[in-house]
Amino acid sequence: MKKNLLTSYFSGIKDAHNGEGFSKILKYFFPEFVTAVILYSLPLLIDARWIAHLQSTAAYAALGITNTLLHSIIKIAEGLSVGTIVITGQLNGMGEHKQVGKALVNAFWTTVFVGAFVALGLYLGAYRLYGWYRLPEDMIVLGAPFLRIRAFGIFFMFVYFALIGFMRGIKDTKTPMNIFIIGCILFLFFDYVFIFGKLGFPALGLTGSALASVIQSLSMCGIALWYVVRSKALASYKICFFSAFTSWASVWQLCKFSWPVVVDKAALSWAYVWLGYCLAPLGACVLASFSVVKDLERFALLPAIAFAQVITFLVSNDYGKHDWEAIKTNSKKIIFMASVGVFAILYVCSLCPDRIISLFDFKGEFTVFAAKMFPIVSVLAFFDVLQLILAGALRGAANVQVVMWTRLLVCVGFFAPATYLISRVETPHILIKAILMYSCLYIGNAIMGLIYIQRFRAEAWKRKSIEVEA
């Protein structure tokens, strides 16, 4: 007999017999958290702070819009990486090390091709993308060249994520963390030097930020390649990059696992792009407010983002062993820990949002607007925590199409039309209009979370694990 939802949740948190202990989960979590801080938040916040020193709301808004767009592109790379995690994690759980190495080679060259295609599209279509946003001419002039330079870094980021997917699949979270730290240090050094013209370099402003990002991505990709090829600890995987595809069936399997993840991550991240599109007619100050609120909430959600990576590789390994109770228990424990971490950060940020936001607004043009917006939309952030963790668990259990269709249908069927209709309403209350549009994103997350819960409770997520190639 099934327990009710809350009873099942609390019993799973207290379960000491199935799954990993809290200390073991935290051991996996901390490297992923540092990685998430470096990849998704800290460099972006510092970069935004330095761009704010230019005292140009148009430049700050252009930076925010571009970062939102590139975040959605990085999510595509991350989706390919999740496919690599699922395959290598399950094969690693079965002890098939040589097959893990072959899966990495296939993932690497597939990602090289996809990354080159995406980077070329960004470079050639930069001005058209900003025109689609309906941005003022001064923001297009600032943003399009910035995006073109960043496109080169996006290519190396795609390749890097293929290597990171392999490391996470074999439960190595420390190496990605260390590489991200090195990349972060390089980015911050060159970002400061290029933006402000230090050490004999000219002051390049936004262009300097783009160049620093390219250096960061190239360096991380090179270090990861060197580690995978030279590490004696990985010798049993027999990795040889400069060889033909070991199996087209394996490439197809990677695509089968990856494309639903790519679609679902792209759907959710493009929701922010669409939100920016709907807010653009309200002016540069509203776009700047959207950028700073989004960055602060992304910072608060970092524990959930890190735990989502952890639950994916834990589930993928337990799935290979058919340990169903461990999967459920780990998911409940991680939801609990992620919720505590996220709400602790949101609570601190909501105590004095105006002081925090003023760090990015030297002219005081959007601080008041953003400070009123942030605490209200933050109340709904729990729904994002829930759907992030459950989506990660379902991906690890190879239920990637469930996550894809859920996110795609909610974003297309609810979020996009709801925000568009609100954006068409003529009202002098711009703050209320912006809050309503932003809140639609979290309401959509709540719908996703309910669907994922039903999937787990119906036991439909248990499927035959992947076949080991002969």
Instruction: Indicate if the alpha-carbon torsion angle 185, 186, 187, 189 is positive or negative.
Output: positive
Question: Angle at the Cα of 215 (from 205 to 118), degrees rounded to 5?
Answer: 95
Mean pLDDT by 10 residues, the chain (470 residues): 61 67 82 78 84 80 81 81 76 72 77 88 86 77 85 90 83 81 90 89 86 92 88 74 62 71 78 86 83 86 88 79 77 87 88 86 84 86 87 81 87 92 86 90 90 81 48
Distances (CA, A) of 331 to 9, 76, 313, 414, 432: 9, 24, 12, 27, 36
Q: Give pLDDT, residue 156.
A: 92
Amino acid sitting at position 439? S
* Structure-block tokens of residue 323: 């340990």
Each residue's pLDDT tens digit, 137-146:
777 787 788 8
Closest CA to 102 of 30, 169, 189: 169
Q: Give pLDDT, residue 244.
A: 53
Task: State the Cα–Cα distance between residues 344 and 96, nearest whole angstrom.
Answer: 41
Task: State the Cα–Cα distance between residues 335 and 426, nearest whole angstrom.
Answer: 40
* Structure-block tokens of residue 339: 């919720």
Rg value, the chain, Cα: 22
Do 423 and 437 contact (CB within 8 A), yes or no?
yes
Q: Give pLDDT, residue 465.
A: 45
DSSP character at residue 200: T
Helices 137-169, 302-320: axis angle to 10 degrees equals 30
Global pTM reads: 0.73
Residues 6+ apart with CB under 8 A from 48: 60, 63, 64, 291, 292, 295, 360
Rounded to the nearest 5°, which phi and psi values hold at 398? 65, 20
Do 16 and 325 contact (CB within 8 A), yes or no?
no
Q: Give pLDDT, residue 249.
A: 67
The distance from CA 134 to its chain's CA centroid, rounded to whole angstroms, is 26
